[in-house]
Structure 1
């Protein structure tokens, strides 16, 4: 009765599975569209089954033992004998070529498995397509997890491609309000509604029905109370599908008592979670630690938890609607305060351990883990702040390097300033937080605030005898001096910082100070001391296996090598540093490397390359939000490079070269900077040769062209595998393709010959 939206890839994949296997089960959470997909597939394959495609609806089957009788009735078999229904089925179906759809097996999962195992060997021409919130678990069963409808990538402009979730909302809304259409005015609100509902088809349909009484803006505002809001609408649907709560109540009833308890407890996580977090936070009081893994498997099989693969390992997540349901159950259980405390304390420990282990060989793994945990870290900070400001700023200080490398500097500063606003305590925690916040302010170009905070931190450090704090105060004060162009003061402060960090046996602080000291000496023209400080910093890093800080020390050494005219060594140093910063995703470090490589190109007389690098840098610094943040004293080199390059090339050629660099995707830009491949030429008229794909979709299309799997693409781009799959679906739809092979061929056609 309503249109079938999207699902081209899903239909094709299920048809492929059916051609290769006689037992296919569509799994996924309630309301994701398993039945609709099964019926669509059935419609498309019915000609291949001369004896028909038969639908057996099991949702209303209350007595599991009557499943064989239900199948007999659905197949319109009349038999008045006393034989077992299974025997009747085997006799009547033998020799038939048919497809049977067992719809909604989750509450009769065991009986469905037994029936399938009995019929499939006895009826060679039978194929079964089942829908269930968990697999049947029989031999040779192929499972396909039905994903949510595709969501918009981000803010849209103009007449951009519409995602499947938004298309569904618009179509159902038009049925409620004739004449409803997506416009520039309402598109953003509709997209936000679809995101809030996770792209869950049933939730979107229930929400669209509410437009009889609400505007889209009012609907969005009320989604926090979605179970009350989405409580009526689809009168012709099965009872469990008529309201969102009834749908999830159905899933809840299928879980064991311990699975329900774990469901409630894992709802405390804001983002995804890993097994370690679940074991630490959710065990106890009815669930032993050893039981957690089995219960997680059970919730994954019942489509309550979604399993995702990240570069840092397997993680699990709840859809937002299922999480909200779990939180209501958690609150009703009376366990909420205790679970929240365990959650808060777990992420405080994680932050503290990350700080303690940050200077060592596990830096990439630690920082990658913190990025994935960012939503949970944020919620833990909220719990800390609600209890005591000291807890909040202590944890926020421990996360200092996470704020910097993950481009969350603004958020980190907000948490620190929120706690520092209460200045009633004169403690080490406050002194340390003032220093951490001052560094973030320096990077953001707010030197005045940084100076004020450093003065208070120094006073507290001197008053309380906090040598480690005083070491960082000297380090950050030197950065302020460099920003002001006072190289002599900066050298003095950095030397003080080196001495204090050595005295307190803090190699991390020592390396930071040595690297900055090298830059200060270079700024003053003291090449010998600049090189010595950078090489000493690298030596300390090597002794501790600290590759991240070594990358910055190499950047400093590369700058001095370039200043001394040794562009070959400078290039090698900057490119080696860039490779590490790229692997970490450190935008600031990458930007510094690209800056120096641009200067080197200009010095070597390769002005077109220098201009292309400047185009790349334009994108990098726009994404960061500030040019050369924390390294303002280097801006003169950038300006000199740009002016000289423009003068040599002339305005038109310069602008064209800058545009070539700016049009490169992030991955293409870094490959070019590492001299692994040249930039793609710009077509006449300035048309984007990769249109209609976005920059991210272009990156992924090229990785598909290189033969990468979804898992490999996700690892390469540090995104969830589910996100990569969503992008590939968008690419297929935009280009009108049906296979990855077509994407690969298209990529080859778009790539110019060398």
Structure 2
């Protein structure tokens, strides 16, 4: 920047100064677009900014290009300046398409002068804060926000954007956005330098003690690929692992991730759980999740915490394979026993240090005592170890063998009883009182849980046992379904279980209350349920509840709020798995068929196609079941085959489902089955061969289905038929013009029905066929609109197809670098998701020159590989022109 003539040292404010930096976003592109108009445009921009700054009492320190650096003696004056400037820029009559978008950053700090300029870290901090913003956005540091929050003019508010790591600054900065009435307030995420990613859950309580053990785990992670913390339930293995993960996670370039295996008892599901923990928007489709996981981690440097591994010990070879695939990563495992693989270093976790019997002062410093005191304070803030209770506290934690879970459970009793009285009642929690074939320490845990359990009223004990059927927790609605016949006020009972430490309340999306038990406590609850003789009845209630729930969710996952409904399903996926497993083992064929059929759209949209196929094939093979339930499951199985690109295989289940529905006589069900069967046969004919018989059958089915839907007045059904007919006239008759017209009509039907899913697919086909007919502009318009419908829902199957079309359109426009990057993204996401329907649909893009792209060319190969490394959100942003590559290849921006 250059100093202005008006900024002499004596005129620049000193002391506490608010610094303003501004910049025009995308100015290079704007200069190119403006051409000869740029000097006049820049002069107007400069005039508006200078007038706003000086008019609010500020001083322009420097300008460089289109950027301003100004200083204010008052933070509120600085806010007034940016408000005036943004409004002036927004109201100005700029040439068409040439309005500058100015980002602005404010920070208040120490105004130190060096010559005619400011020096010091606060100036750099202000510049970095501005650099994190987007065009039209005003961001403030926490120090500036604190000075102005109570003096903001009408129509101006602050929005807390959280803490962010900014380039060249060692500490995260609290950043606020200034919302200006009448101006845009929605912007992409700040351009911050994020800390290594992590999904570590927020601890319910803070960590106490275990310094020696934490140091040992850290030391072992330096030298061993796999560290397995072993010990009986309740020794605190999970909390130790999470604490170590938080302490060392910053050393791993790609982050630290917690994989909760407590709800899982099937070793084959472990790879999917790991992929999900790694933040994969899509899980493998028809590709084995194990293979997809090994590919995913091959270039990563992560710390994976695999928790509660003992119940999936058969998956130990997977950990060995992960070590080979990801040599720079480390794996911290918690288990009741070792994995027994070559790369493993076991670290047995002993109970916490116990107090010295002979030295009362040293006794109070023991970890076990510290934990008891910490948890006791949580329920009784005035609790303290006193000369009167010190011996009782020491004896109490010794009687609990120093086991953290037992200590936490018993500490909750301090709310009601003094420690000596708790000690007097401790007999049920002593070693030897649990099941006699368990290790002594495990009996201690069971005794501690049993003691808390036995203090409950009998109806609350019944509630506790029933909660054991839920895998991975449940929300209040599901708990009510399974437990509504228990003679207890449900909210009061849940509150009592939370108070006793037997249940935890968790944050849940959508404002719903959600509860879960620790793994070891859930095991005890299930034992209580079995002992009570009602286990089968309660598991069946759980199954029935999730059948009804899944069918309700299925009715919403194609509408405008589909992302929220898919998220709800995701939160209870482990419960669906548990219910399906129980139904299959106990011969509940109808309920299994209904639950699997209702789940398939979730499996498809969120990339669980591999698991969905396996589960649907399992329930279809069960004996018995109502024909209509079987038909729905067959249609779901056909849909999974379709999305896996196994088109010919989807025809038989669709045919069988249609035959069953015809017997039922339900017009709507028949019409839907007709649509499925017709589309399957039409698309399969592309590879098996188009004959007059196939053509006649397909068009006959569509005519029949359309007649039924018109009689029913079903706009959504008419959208399906019209969309399917568009594919048919393309595949069977190669009539592109008629196909395009039909796809336009399908969008109208879907829009009338409120089916965003259908609208998106209509737009996809309109984009393809417009491009094939030479109208690339319309193709891009519909591609962008459709992609914006699907991307927010993280519907990877759809996004992969849209990205493949975007690559083809870029290649057709002779933009090879953009095409290569997008093609790489398609390749990477297709492999990770298993959405092989893209292999079939890509044939519809023939003639758009994508086949001419050679990603192995020396100039394109690095760009193609960069595309393969994109995640879903990055690829979408690039396709929509919202991001600039950071690998040195400015292709498309």
What is the TM-score of this pair, normalised by structure 2? 0.51
* Matching of residues 366-445 of structure 1 within 5 Å: 366-385=565-584, 386-422=586-622, 427-445=627-645
Kindly tell me: are residues 392 and 34 of structure 1, through their superposed partners in 2, closer, same or farther at Cα, counting changes over 3 Å?
same
What SS does structure 2 have at the residue aligned with 1:399?
helix
Equivalence for 2:375: none
Cα deviation code 1:612-661 (max 9, x no counterpart): 110110012112224335x7153252696432233xx9822232331231
Instruction: Between 511-520 and 389-398, report the one with greater CA deviation.
Output: 511-520
Following superposition, the deviation at residue 445 of structure 1 comes to 3.3
2:759 matched residue in structure 1: 550
| Equivalent in 829, 834, 842 of residue 634 of structure 1 | 842
Matched-pair contact (CA < 8 Å) for 2:804–2:826: yes
> How large is the Cα RMSD of the aligned pairs?
4.6
CA distance in structure 2 between the partners assigned to 1:145 and 1:271 by the alignment: 21
What's the counterpart of residue 877 of structure 2? Answer: 671
Structure 1 residue 527: Cα displacement: 4.4
Counterpart secondary structure, 1:325 = helix
Q: Which has the larger radius of gyration?
A: 2
Among 232, 247, 262, the alignment partner of 2:445 is: 247
Query: In the alignment, what sits opposite 1:681?
Result: 887
Matches within 5 A, 1:70-469: 150=245, 154=274, 163=303, 199=334, 207=336, 215=340, 238-240=398-400, 241=402, 243-247=441-445, 249-250=447-448, 253-254=451-452, 257=456, 260-292=461-493, 294-295=495-496, 297-298=498-499, 302=501, 304-310=503-509, 313-358=512-557, 360-385=559-584, 386-422=586-622, 427-469=627-669
Alignment of structure 1 residues 563-712 onto 2, 5 Å: 563-629=772-838, 632-635=840-843, 637=845, 641-646=849-854, 651-681=857-887
Distance of 1:159 and 1:376 partners within structure 2: 33
Instruction: Answer yes or no: is 1:520 the counterpart of 2:728.
Output: yes
Larger deviation, residues 457-466 vs 379-388: 457-466
The equivalent residue for 2:107 is none
Partner of 1:316: helix, strand, or coil?
strand
Query: Contact 2:641–2:647 at 8 Å: present in 1 too?
Result: yes
CA deviations on 1:158-188 (whole Å, 9 max, x unpaired) are 897574868999xxxxxxxxxxxx9958969
* Separation (CA, whole Å) in 2 of partners of 1:414 and 1:40: 41
d(CA) in 1 for partners of 2:623, 2:304:
51
Q: Write out per-residue CA displacement over residues 295-329 of structure 1, whole angstroms, 9 at most, x where no aligned residue.
A: 46536xx3742513446755333332232222122
Contact 1:598 1:641 in 2 (8 A): no
What is the rounded CA distance, in whole Å, between the counterparts of 2:321 and 2:751 in structure 1? 56
Task: Give me the whole-angstrom Cα distance separating, in 2, the residues matched to 1:183 and 1:424.
Answer: 40
Q: Tell me: CA distance 1:149–1:326, structure 2 relative to 1, closer, same or farther (3 Å).
A: farther
- Asked whether the equivalents of residues 428 and 466 of structure 1 are also in contact (C-alpha less than 8 Å), the reply is no
Moved more, 557-566 or 589-598: 557-566
Counterpart of 1:476 in structure 2 is 676
1:590 positional shift = 0.5
The CA distance in 2 between the partners of 1:168 and 1:145, in whole Å, is: 13
Select the residue among 195, 208, 211 that pairs with 1:34: 208
CA distance in 2 between counterparts of 1:29 and 1:522 reads 58
> Could you tell me how far 1:38 is from its partner in structure 2?
12
* Matched residue, 2:262: none
Classify the secondary structure of the residue corresponding to 2:507. strand
| 1:555 and 1:593 in contact (8 A); partners too | yes
Greater Cα offset, 154-163 or 461-470: 154-163
Indicate how the Cα distance of structure 1 residues 164 and 387 shifts in structure 2: closer, same or farther if over 3 A, else same.
closer
Q: What SS does the corresponding residue of 2:858 show, helix, strand or coil?
A: helix
Structure 2 match to 1:106: none
- Unaligned residue ranges in structure 2 (runs of 5+): 1-170, 172-201, 216-235, 246-256, 260-273, 275-292, 310-317, 355-367, 369-397, 404-440
1:539 corresponds to 2:752? no
Contact kept? 1:537, 1:550, Cα under 8 Å:
yes
CA distance in 2, matches of 1:334, 1:593: 54
Q: Separation in 2 of the partners of 1:165 and 1:663?
A: 24
CA distance in 2, matches of 1:382, 1:362: 29
More strand per residue: 1 or 2?
2
Report the alpha carbon displacement of residue 374 of structure 1 after superposing the two structures with TM.
1.1
> 1:611 Cα shift?
1.3
Q: How far apart are 1:581 and its partner, in Å? A: 1.2
Higher helix proportion (structure 1 or 2): 1
Residues in 2 aligned to 1:342 and 1:663: alpha-carbon distance in whole angstroms: 45
- Residue 273 (structure 1) shift: 1.2
Contact 2:497 2:503 in 1 (8 A): no
1:311 and 1:598, CA in 2 relative to 1: closer, same or farther beyond 3 A? farther
Q: Could you tell me how far 1:451 is from its partner in structure 2?
A: 2.5
SS at match of 2:706: helix
How many pairs were matched up? Answer: 522
Contact 2:675 2:701 in 1 (8 A): yes
Q: Give secondary structure in 1 for the equivalent of 2:515.
A: strand
1:675: Cα distance to partner? 0.5
The answer on whether the counterparts of 1:281 and 1:343 sit within 8 Å (CA) in structure 2 is: yes
CA contact (8 A) 1:231 1:244 kept: no
Distance 1:502 1:362, change over 3 A: farther
Q: Secondary structure at 1:653's aligned position in 2?
A: coil
Contact 2:645 2:836 in 1 (8 A): no
Question: What SS class does the counterpart of residue 516 from structure 2 fall into?
Answer: strand
Which string of whole-angstrom CA distances, capped at 9 and with x for unpartnered residues, describes residues 351-390 of structure 1? Answer: 2222344554443322221122111112222233324212
Give the Cα separation in 1 of the matches to 2:756 and 2:844: 28
Give the Cα separation in 2 of the matches to 1:249 and 1:672: 58
Aligned equivalents of 1:507, 1:291: Cα separation in 2:
47
Q: Of 708, 723, 727, which aligns to 1:500?
A: 708
Whole-Å separation in 2 of the counterparts to 1:28 and 1:252: 25
- By how many angstroms is 1:672 displaced? 0.4
Q: Distance in 1 between matches of 2:680 and 2:308?
A: 53
Shift of 1:252: 5.2
Distance 1:286 1:449, change over 3 A: same
* Mapped partners of 2:331, 2:518: distance in 1: 11
Shift of 1:601: 1.2
Tell me the TM-score normalised to structure 1 length.
0.59
